[in-house]
Amino acid sequence: MPEELRTSTRDLEELRASTEAWLRGQVGASASVSGMSRPTENGLSSETLFFTATWDGQRKRCVARLAPAREAVPVFPSYDLGAQFEMMRLAREKAGIPAPRALWFEPDPGPLGTPFFVMERADGEVPPDVLPYTFGGWLYDASPADRRRLQDASVGLLAALHQTAFTPRELAPFGTAGLRAHVEEQRAYYEWAHGRRRVPVLERAFAALAAHWPDDPGPDVLTWGDARIGNVMYRDFAPVAVLDWEMAAVGPRELDLSWMIFLHRFFQDITTGAGLPGLPAFMRREDVCATYRDLTGYEPRDLDFYELYAALRHGVIMARVWQRRIHFGELPSPDDPDDLVLHRATLEELLARYEAAS
């Protein structure tokens, strides 16, 4: 896994002063902003800031999410923070999911140099990505029963979201519905991120998906998109804040299920590759799908296809992240572009079954 990655070039004190000036325009001249900081494990997409906002006797711990500056070499080509803000509101108010309370959305790039939104800050524990939770820590050290409670509660988040009925107007910010549109969008993202340097293993995966398309992709629902336990804050193994909604889309339920399953496999493979046991009994496909079926009555389908798609999607992102590190001089450029994909071996293993059948 990469160590801490560069996500911003912006000065914290300048950001604090600008945020304070903006906040005074929202709630009055008494407002102040203090304690501005960045999390030690910042996200790879939008920039995150922590601060305390005070006004009219109120004191609120806040988190701001900012679209990245162009010089930061963004992971994604665009950042619809308005859609993320609306997604958090819908998840919290309609689906009963503990998404952070959304406070303000500022579409004008003037105040901070880029659009941003502000939400309440929650307290809890997040399974870490660096080093991954499969190497050790509070989740690793938990009892099997507590880990299973966390797993089932996490699957329950997907069930709650997918079972909630949303109006066409509510779904409109999240793009064209359907698996075909989702894959086409991912292909366009690949072309944007890697058009100047092709990544053959990712192109093989796109071809395999096209050749083995599901007969019936299933009903479309509102999906979280980045559905993984590293985007959830827990307290006593129960979710208290569900984070990072920038990949929300309308598509088959299996998009979220396969992403949750694969992202654990991604960390588990890193761990076993280092000669450690990891958590082999955690987030197993059969267990995740059984819990989801019990909660929703829906039988997940075509999971081999969706797991390959999850590995491909993650591969496009990870290769873009590695190219950012090359840009900032943190890593040399590999001779083989497939080595930009950290989980190349896993992706090739998943591909083998499809290419053998072609």
Report how far apart the first and last C-alpha atoms of the chain are (Å, whole number).
Answer: 33
pLDDT tier at 73, thresholds 50, 70, 90: confident
Based on the domain organization, do 352 and 234 belong to the same domain? yes
User: Tokens 């906002």 belong to which residue?
Assistant: 53
Residue 127 lies in a domain: no
- Answer whether residue 4 is part of any domain: no
Amino acid at 48: T
Q: Are residues 115 and 195 in the same domain?
A: no
Whether 148 and 116 map to the same domain: the answer is no
132 within domain boundaries: no
Per-residue confidence band for 6, with pLDDT thresholds at 50, 70 and 90: very low
- At residue 5 the predicted structure's pLDDT band, cuts being 50, 70 and 90, is very low
Q: For position 31, which CATH number holds?
A: 3.30.200.20
Tell me which residue of 183, 212, 199, 197 sits closest to 351, measured CA to CA.
212
Same domain, 114 and 239: no
The answer to whether 235 and 150 have CB atoms below 8 angstroms apart is no
- CB 182 within 8 Å of CB 255: yes
Query: Is residue 231 pLDDT above 90, yes or no?
Result: yes
What pLDDT score was predicted for residue 68? Answer: 82
Residues 302 and 250 placed together within one structural domain of the fold: yes
Last residue of a domain, one of 88, 120, 152: 120
Q: Are residues 115 and 148 in the same domain?
A: no
The answer as to whether 136 is a domain residue is no
Using pLDDT thresholds of 50, 70 and 90, give the confidence band for residue 9: low
Q: How far is CA 354 from CA 8, 66, 200, 238, 347, in A?
A: 40, 40, 16, 38, 11
- Tell me the catalytic residues: 226
The reported pLDDT for the residue numbered 43 is 52
Q: What three-state secondary structure class fits 249?
A: strand
**CA distance linking residue 91 with residue 199, whole number of Å:** 36
Let me know whether 317 and 189 are in one domain: yes
Q: Is residue 329 part of a domain?
A: yes
Nearest 5°: CA angle at 354, between 350 and 357?
Answer: 145
The type of residue at 32 is S
Asked if 65 and 115 sit in the same domain, the reply is: yes
pLDDT tens column, 106-147: 999 999 999 999 999 999 999 999 999 999 999 999 999 999
Domain that holds residue 62: 12-120
Between residues 194 and 258, which one has the greater pLDDT?
258
The continuous run of DSSP H or E covering 120 comes out as: strand 116-120
Same domain membership, residue 149 and residue 67: no
What are the φ and ψ backbone dihedral angles of 109, each rounded to 5 degrees? -75, -5
What is the spatial distance between Cα 301 and Cα 288, in angstroms, rounded to a whole number?
Answer: 13
Give yes or no for a contact between 82 and 88, defined as CB atoms under 8 angstroms apart.
Answer: no
Note the pLDDT of residue 171.
97
CATH of the domain at 182: 3.90.1200.10
For residue 171, the tally of other CB atoms under 10 A from its CB is 17
Residues 97 and 199 in one domain: no
| pLDDT at 44 exceeding the cut of 80 | no
* Residue finishing a domain among 70, 105, 120: 120
Residue 139 lies in a domain: no
Asked whether the beta carbons of 9 and 69 are under 8 A apart, the reply is yes
Domain count, the chain: 2
Do 303 and 200 have their domain in common?
yes
DSSP string, 55-77: ETTEEEEEEEEEPPPGGG--SSS
pLDDT tens digit string along 274-329?
999 999 999 999 999 999 999 999 999 999 999 999 999 999 999 999 988 888 88
DSSP 3-state of 18: helix
For residue 322, being part of any structural domain is answered with yes
Q: Are residues 292 and 178 in the same domain?
A: yes
- Provide the total of helices (H) and of strands (E) in the chain, helices listed first: 10, 9
Sheet holding 102-106, edge to edge: 32-37, 47-55, 58-66, 116-120, 102-106
Q: Which residue has the tokens 């980045």?
A: 226
